[in-house]
Every structure is written in structure tokens, then in C-alpha cells.
């Protein structure tokens, strides 16, 4: 029975990677079919809000020690929603459209390395050149950045799907061509790198957010709600044609429901449960599996072209990711029963930033000023 309990987080993370692969494929399919990327982002988080908000309300029902939201908490959540959700997802979806689902998934592995760079710039990370783990983090960051540059600039010859036309799945379900042309490749990669930077900044914001508003479910609901409003305002400003808000097909509507409810709603709870049981490093170790799944499924169903340079760059990013994770794993102190606080489960990615125990991190963050929703 104990072995089965130990296997539950592993099985959950495996299922979660298939879920994330589906999010990548369905997001790209929706925009290839003609859905406006910014509208897609708004609908996705509106759907996530409709799913998470009732759960958050019921979870707080009847509790006397409910977290209260002040101006500082609201400001942090507003900023996190704007940068980590709206700008992040808009840049990611644009990059996903211009490049490919497999490259977008591979680029997402840059987040730990970029988080390390930002944390070091903010003096939340310290480097000791005499420490093997510090060297591993530096080497891993270089490999991640180098792999991303290779993917963007050195595509190389094609290995699979040597054609410029997209196959049609299930009678024109994915039947619109779109991104991936040579002149858009670098722009798409830059969008994806920008998305990773926004996501890394969101992870760093989790430390003060957790200290000021320690209610992860309510926090997620507020972030999705604010992201929906912010995204709608941005889309209305950039897109004056109101017809872009109308989904053209039932498939596009299905993509919105899947990415919102499954990709942003249910996946949040599964990710939080796994990290609470096994820690953030355990969770991050499964990320490259999503990259492999997306590459295989995109080549089969979307008929995406696979390049030697892209594969070489993706391998470099994945190797660099594991170097960074190995270096950070040495920094994470084991969580004892004395360390556990109600808010400790909220700092899902916080050990990537600081070297103290979760209890100490929350105490330090409280003295000072997101799982991709």
C-alpha cells in the first residue's frame, strides 16, 4: 500500500504532462483555424474563472480565519495577473502561432534558468564559485540560453514532414495553415523567450503574494478573474473589429473549454497536490516529458516540420534544465512537521528563489514588500 501511495504523485505528473501537451496542441490548433490569439487568451481565463471561483468560494465558506485582501495584496495580484498571465499568455500564444507547438513547449524549459538569473539580479540568489551546485546552476543556465539561441537561429535541414502544408485532422479540424514561415521564426522565438521572462517574474512575485494573501485557491481565482478583465481591455484596444470575439467553429469553443477548465483549472489542483507531496524539483523534472509528447503528437496530428537544429537546441535546453534543477535541489532543506504552515503550500516554486526553509522564506518575505494558469 505504501508503494502505491508513493506512485500516486508520479502517475499524477505523467497524466499532467499529457494534459499540458493537449493544451499546447489545442491552443495552436485554435489559432491556426483562425481564432484571434488575444481573444483565445481572454476566453481561456474567463473559463478558468468560472471553474475556480465557485471552488474558492466553497473552500472559504464558514471559515473564521479567512485571508483578507488589502491594497498591497490586491496590487501584487493585479501585477501578477497582468505580467504573469495576460502578457505571458499573449506572448506565448503569438509565439505558438508563429513557430510550432514543439518549439514552444521546449522553450518553456527556459523558465528555471531565467528565474535563477532574475533572482540573482534581485539578490535572492547567491553564487559561490567554489560550490559545485553553483557551478551547475551557471552551466545549466548557459546551456538553456544557448539551446534557445540554436532553436531560433539554426533550424537546419528538415527531418520529418518535409512539406509546407498542414495535414487536416478529422475532416478539417486543424485545417488552417498559419505560422512557421521562415521570416516569422525568429520573431516567434523572441515572443516565447519574452513569455518565459514574464513567467519567471511571476514566480518571483509568488514570495510576497504568499506572505500577504495565503489562500492559494482564492488567489488563483482572483488572478484568473483579473486576467480576464485585463486581457479583454487589451484586446478591445488592439482589435476594433468585434467579430473577432465570435468563435467560428465548435472546435474553437472546445479548445477554449479544454484549456480553461482542464489546462488552467484542474491542472492547478493536481500540480499543487504533487508539489505539496514531493516538492517543486520533483514536479519540474517531468517538464521535458511534455516537450517530447508535444513534438511527437504535433508531428503526427498537426504535421509540424521537425528540424535538426530545433532538436539539438531542445536537447541543450533540457540538459541545462536538469543542471539547474540539480543545483537547486541541493539548496532545498527538507520540510519537517514543525516547518509546515498553512501558507507553505502556496510557495510552489519558491525554493527556486531562496535557500531557506519555507517557514523562513515566508517570514522574510512578510518583512518586505503562480502552476502556468
Angle, vertex CA 262, rays to CA 2 and CA 80, nearest 5: 100
Q: Which among 269, 274, 279 has a CA at the least distance from the CA of 339?
A: 279
Q: What is the pLDDT along the chain (373 residues), one digit of tens a residue?
A: 567 777 888 899 999 999 999 999 999 999 999 999 999 999 999 999 999 999 888 887 766 666 678 889 899 999 999 999 999 999 999 999 999 898 999 999 999 899 889 988 888 888 888 888 889 999 999 999 999 888 888 777 877 656 544 433 333 333 334 444 556 888 999 999 999 999 999 888 887 887 888 887 888 889 999 999 999 999 999 988 889 999 889 999 999 999 999 988 888 778 878 877 887 778 788 888 899 899 888 888 888 878 888 888 999 999 999 999 888 876 654 444 444 433 333 333 333 333 443 334 433 333 333 344 4
- Judge whether 304 and 126 are in contact, CB under 8 Å: no
Alpha helices, H only, 213-307: 216-238, 250-257, 267-278, 280-284, 287-297
- Judge whether 22 and 262 are in contact, CB under 8 Å: yes
- Judge whether 321 and 144 are in contact, CB under 8 Å: yes
Report the alpha-carbon distance of residue 354 to residue 298 in Å, rounded: 37
Q: How far is CA 294 from CA 47, 266, 356, in A?
A: 23, 20, 35
Strand partners, 306: 160
Amino acid at each position: 500500500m505504501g508503494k502505491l501511495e508513493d506512485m500516486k504523485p508520479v502517475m499524477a505528473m505523467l497524466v499532467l504532462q499529457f494534459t499540458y501537451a493537449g493544451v499546447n496542441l489545442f491552443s495552436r490548433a485554435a489559432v491556426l483555424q483562425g481564432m484571434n490569439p488575444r481573444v483565445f487568451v481572454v476566453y481561456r481565463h474567463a473559463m478558468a474563472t468560472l471553474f475556480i471561483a465557485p471552488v474558492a468560494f466553497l473552500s472559504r465558506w464558514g471559515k473564521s480565519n479567512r485571508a483578507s485582501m488589502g491594497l498591497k495584496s490586491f496590487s501584487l495580484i493585479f501585477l501578477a495577473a497582468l505580467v504573469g498571465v495576460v502578457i505571458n499568455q499573449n506572448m506565448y500564444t503569438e509565439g505558438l502561432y508563429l513557430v510550432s507547438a514543439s518549439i514552444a513547449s521546449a522553450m518553456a524549459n527556459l523558465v528555471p534558468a531565467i528565474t535563477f538569473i532574475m533572482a540573482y539580479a534581485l539578490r535572492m540568489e547567491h553564487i559561490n564559485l567554489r560550490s559545485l551546485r553553483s557551478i551547475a546552476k551557471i552551466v545549466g543556465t548557459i546551456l538553456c540560453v544557448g539551446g534557445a539561441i540554436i532553436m531560433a537561429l539554426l533550424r537546419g535541414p528538415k527531418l520529418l514532414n518535409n512539406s509546407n502544408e498542414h495535414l487536416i485532422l478529422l475532416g478539417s479540424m486543424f485545417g488552417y495553415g498559419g505560422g512557421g514561415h521562415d521570416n516569422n521564426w525568429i520573431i516567434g522565438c523572441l515572443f516565447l523567450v519574452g513569455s518565459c521572462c514574464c513567467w519567471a517574474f511571476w514566480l518571483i512575485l509568488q514570495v510576497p503574494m504568499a506572505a500577504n494573501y495565503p489562500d492559494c485557491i482564492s488567489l488563483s481565482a482572483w488572478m484568473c478573474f483579473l486576467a480576464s478583465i485585463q486581457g479583454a481591455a487589451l484586446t478591445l484596444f488592439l482589435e476594433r473589429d468585434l467579430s473577432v470575439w465570435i468563435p467560428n467553429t465548435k472546435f474553437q469553443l472546445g479548445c477554449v473549454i479544454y484549456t480553461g477548465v482542464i489546462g488552467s483549472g484542474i491542472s492547478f489542483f493536481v500540480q499543487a497536490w504533487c508539489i505539496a507531496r514531493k516538492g517543486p524539483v520533483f514536479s519540474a523534472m517531468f517538464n521535458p516529458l511534455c516537450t517530447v509528447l508535444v513534438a511527437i503528437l504535433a508531428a503526427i496530428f498537426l504535421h509540424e516540420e521537425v528540424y535538426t537544429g530545433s532538436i539539438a537546441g531542445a536537447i541543450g535546453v533540457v540538459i541545462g534544465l536538469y543542471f539547474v534543477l540539480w543545483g537547486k535541489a541541493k539548496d532545498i532543506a527538507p520540510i519537517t512537521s514543525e516547518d509546515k504552515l498553512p501558507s507553505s503550500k502556496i510557495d510552489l516554486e519558491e525554493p527556486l528563489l531562496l535557500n531557506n526553509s519555507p517557514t523562513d522564506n515566508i517570514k522574510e518575505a512578510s518583512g518586505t514588500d503562480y502552476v502556468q494558469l
